[in-house]
Each structure stands twice: as structure tokens, then as C-alpha cells.
Structure 1
Amino acid sequence: MKLDLEGKLALVTGGDSGIGRETARFLLDEGAAVALSDITGDALADAAEGLSAHGRCMPFTADLSKADGVTRLKGEIEAAMGAPDIVVHCAGETGPTGDFLEIDDAGWEEVIAVDLMSAVRVARAFIPGMREKGWGRLVLIASENAVQPYPEETPYNVAKAGIITLGKSLSKAYGEDGVLVNVVSPAFVATPMTDKMMEKRAAEEGVDKEAAIEGFLAEKRPGIEVGRRGRPEEVAAVIAFLCSQRASFVVGANWRVDGGSVMSV
């Protein structure tokens, strides 16, 4: 299926690895140019260099948990490449985990800043440019945790539930202007974030990472029917479709890419 993205400019945040990097590759292969953003300079530069084999890709370092970081990112992208037609907001973190009663305000504030407020600020910064063009795509990344919360990840659960509501609200506000907003909710994808989780579990249990993954699937994610972690490209393919001309009647949706993990209909 041809996605008709030639001539479009996409911003992909959290783009130095995992789902963000694979999404950038899909969009480049479909003819879009990509502004790639992340907080880590060296890894981001390496990712942009590798992706440049697929099309025009420029790196932009930014801390999106701070308002001035988003403002600066917008200015740098517009000066170098123009105003984005597409924004895919992949930046995020798990944050503090464990007993709810032992997670302090600072832990909560960190997760809300990184996982929720960064999305708010990115949307506020880039939606106006899309409205001016009368065409735009904004894809926010939530998680299975938003609708199937795990008690040891309460701050993350809450922030990602906020992402789904944010996406729905924005879709109602700006759909008539041609700006289509949707959310994608992955589950247990092979990314640096879940690698760290599994390495920690492996160390605690005295096993290797693969054994830790198998144990986690059996104990914590029995609903994943395919019996494995997802691959970043499997999520990126869905995101790329939502960014395309082909998804012109998809608005305000939450697309689960979770291997069946979420138990509800």
C-alpha cells in the first residue's frame, strides 16, 4: 500500500532508538523528510546518520519535559526544514515503579513531565502549523497500561491514560481543520526501555535476560497471545499508516498494537 507521503515533513520525538527510530525509517521510505528529536545527542546523531540512507533526516536535540525545550525545538526545525505536517510523539519513560505508597511526589512529577506534559507541549507547539496548512497528522504513543493498569507502574499508568484522553480531546478540537489526531498503544515491545526492565529482572532473579523475558511473559503478560515481545517495526507500521493519506477517516482512535495483551474488548 502506497501511503502518499512524498513532500511531507514529519517530526518524530524519542527518535534515537526503538519505535521512534523505526517510525522514522518507515516515513522516510514513504517519501517524507524527517526531523528526528531526542534528549541524547550522540545516539541521536548516529540514528539520523543511519536513517539518512532512506531519505532526508536531520537530528534535533531537545528536552521535551521542559517548556523552553519544546519552544527551541520548534524554532530550530522551522528554520532548518519548515513546519511539520506530521508529528509522532514517541518520547517517554517508565519512571519510578514499585509500591504506590513508596513513590513520592518527585517521582510522580517526573513521569507526568516526561510522559504527559511533553505531549501537551508538543501538540500545542505544532498543531497551529498544521491548521494553517489545512492538513496534519498527530500520533501520540500511549501504552496497554492506560487501559490495563499494573499496580507496580501506577504513575506510568496514569500518564498514559492521560495521553489517550488528550488524543481524543485534540481530535474533537481540530479534526474539522484537517488535523487528524490518533493514539497508538503498544505492549512489551523490544526497546531500550523494556531491555532495562528485563536486565533488572534478570539480575534480581539470577538468570539471563532471555529467561527473564520468558518469566515476565508467563507471569505478568499472559494475554500476549503470540508469546513474545513485539518488534519496533510492528508498531511503526501502524503509526506510519495513521500518518498517511490512507488514514483520512481515522480520527480520535486508540490503536492497540499489543499482541493481544489487553484482556478487554
Structure 2
Amino acid sequence: MDLGITDRVALVTGGDSGIGLATARLLLAEGARVVLTDQDADALNAAVADLGAAPDRLLPVVADLTSPGDVAALVERAGAAFGAPEILVHAAGVTGAQGLFHEIDDEGWARTIEVDLLAAVRVVRAVLGPMRAAGRGRIVLLASEDGVQPYVDELPYCAAKAGVLSLVKGLSKGYGPEGVLVNAVSPAFIATPMTDAMMDKRADERGTDRDEAIRSFLDEERPLMALKRRGEAAEVAAVIGFLVSERASFVNGSNYRVDAGSVATI
């Protein structure tokens, strides 16, 4: 399928691994020019080497999205190299503070919301002006099944992702009339470094290996995932690619679940 994004400038956050990296790979294959960002320089350089794209197609920029100055510099560098971003895929995020509600302090809440919600606010704010001026743009924010189906041991993450969904809906109403289409993608239990770490911790606690930790997690914590496996980052990237494309010209304010049926409601 021709996505109609040849030579479009795409900014992908959280691009050193997982969903961000898989999305960058897809967008490059579709002819986009990609600005890839993460805060870990070594991991970002490794991702660039893995992608193997020419410098005139792929620009890595190290940035901490909790820093307004870094976000401004990121968008400025993108503009100087390729032009203002016409596509934003915000995949950066962390699991954040975990534990039961009464065990998590203000610092844990604040850090999780800072990374998982306010970073999205900052990046969208930074790219929105040029998109509005151009009369077109595509924004996809990564939310989560947790945003609509909260889990008791990771409520800061759940609340932040619910905030992302609300942000997407509000942005879609405010800027859709100007040609800037905003949507969310909500994955569940995708094979990424973040869920690897979760499963390694579970394996350590149970005295087993990662494969068994995944099996028990699916049975005990995610029983409605009908496919009974972790998703692949490329499976999420495929949905993102559609949403940033010309094929999705009438899709705005939506939340696409890529979760194997994990969310119980319709």
C-alpha cells in the first residue's frame, strides 16, 4: 500500500528501540525523512546503524523530552536539516512508579506523569505551529490499554495514559478543522525492552525464566489477550503508518487498540 508520505518529514520520539524504532523503519521504507530522538546517545546511535538509512533520510537527535529547552532544540534541528515536521509519532515513555497506590509517593507520581504525559504535551506544542501554518499534519500519540483498563499496581502509568487519550481527543477537536489530524494508538504487552524488563523482574521474583514469566503473565494478568502472545513492535508500527498516511485522511480523534483483545469493553 502506498501511504503517500514520500519525502514527508517525520519526528519519531522514543526511537532507539521497540515501537519507535519499528515505526521509523516503516516510515523510511515508505520514503519519509525521519528525525529520530531518544535521550540515550549510545542506544540512539545503535538504532541508526540498525536502520542503515542515508544521512539525508535519517537524522538522530539526542534529547530529554522532560526539558523544554531540549524539545525546542530538537524541533529546531529537525527544521534546519529537513524542514518542519509534518508527522509526529510520540512513542517515548516509561513504565514509571509501580506498586499499590498506598506505596507510591508524590515523586513517583510526578516522574511518571512528567515522562508519560507532559513530554507529549511539550512535543506536540513544539510541532503544532508549523503544521497549522501548512494546513496539514499528522500526530499519533502512543497511549496504552492501561488508559482505559487500569491495573492496580501501576496507577501512575494508567492515569498518565488516560491523560494522553484525553489530550488526543481534545487536540483532534481543536486542530482537526485546520487539517491537523490527531489520533492515539494503544498497544498491550508488546515485545519491547520495557516489557522485557518487566518480565525479567517477574522471572527473578518467581525463580523462573523469561518465557515462563510471559506465559504466567498472560494467563494471570492478561487473560483476554486472545492470541496468547506478546505483540510485535512491527504490528503496532503498521497501524501507526496507516494513521500518519494519506489513507487515513478521514480519521481524527480515534484510539486504535493493538492489544489482541485485552481490553474487555467495546
With the shorter chain as reference, the TM-score category is: over 0.9
1:113-262 equivalence runs, <5 A = 113-262=114-263
Bigger shift: residues 186-195 or 62-71: 62-71
Aligned residues: 265
Q: Distance in 1 between matches of 2:175 and 2:205?
A: 47
1:81 matched to 2:82: yes
Who is 2:107 aligned against? 106
Show structure 2 runs of 5+ residues with no match.
none
The alpha carbon displacement at 1:168 in A equals 0.5
What is the identity, as a one-letter code, of the residue corresponding to 1:37?
A: T
TM-score, structure 1 as length reference: 0.98
- Quote the RMSD (CA, aligned, Å): 1.0
Show structure 1 runs of 5+ residues with no match.
none
Q: Distance in 2 between matches of 1:135 and 1:240?
A: 16
The alpha carbon displacement at 1:136 in A equals 0.5
The alpha carbon displacement at 1:49 in A equals 2.4
State, as a whole percentage, how many aligned pairs show the same letter.
57
The alpha carbon displacement at 1:246 in A equals 0.4
Who is 1:31 aligned against? 31
Q: What secondary structure does 1:5 align onto?
A: coil
Who is 1:66 aligned against? 67
Who is 2:58 aligned against? 57
Q: Distance in 1 between matches of 2:205 and 2:147?
A: 27
Q: Distance in 2 between matches of 1:76 and 1:9?
A: 12
Q: What secondary structure does 1:151 align onto?
A: coil
Cα deviation digits, residues 206-260 of structure 1 (max 9, x gap): 0000000000000000010000000000000000000000000000000000010
Cα deviation digits, residues 145-200 of structure 1 (max 9, x gap): 00000000000000000000000000001001110000000000000000000000
TM-score, structure 2 as length reference: 0.98
Who is 2:17 aligned against? 17
Q: Distance in 2 between matches of 1:212 and 1:199?
A: 8
Q: Distance in 1 between matches of 2:9 and 2:3?
A: 14
Moved over 2 A (4+): 52-55
What is the identity, as a one-letter code, of the residue corresponding to 2:51?
A: L
The alpha carbon displacement at 1:50 in A equals 2.2
Cα deviation digits, residues 62-91 of structure 1 (max 9, x gap): 000121221121112112221010000000
1:264 matched to 2:265: yes
Q: Distance in 1 between matches of 2:49 and 2:178?
A: 35
Q: Distance in 1 between matches of 2:214 and 2:173?
A: 39
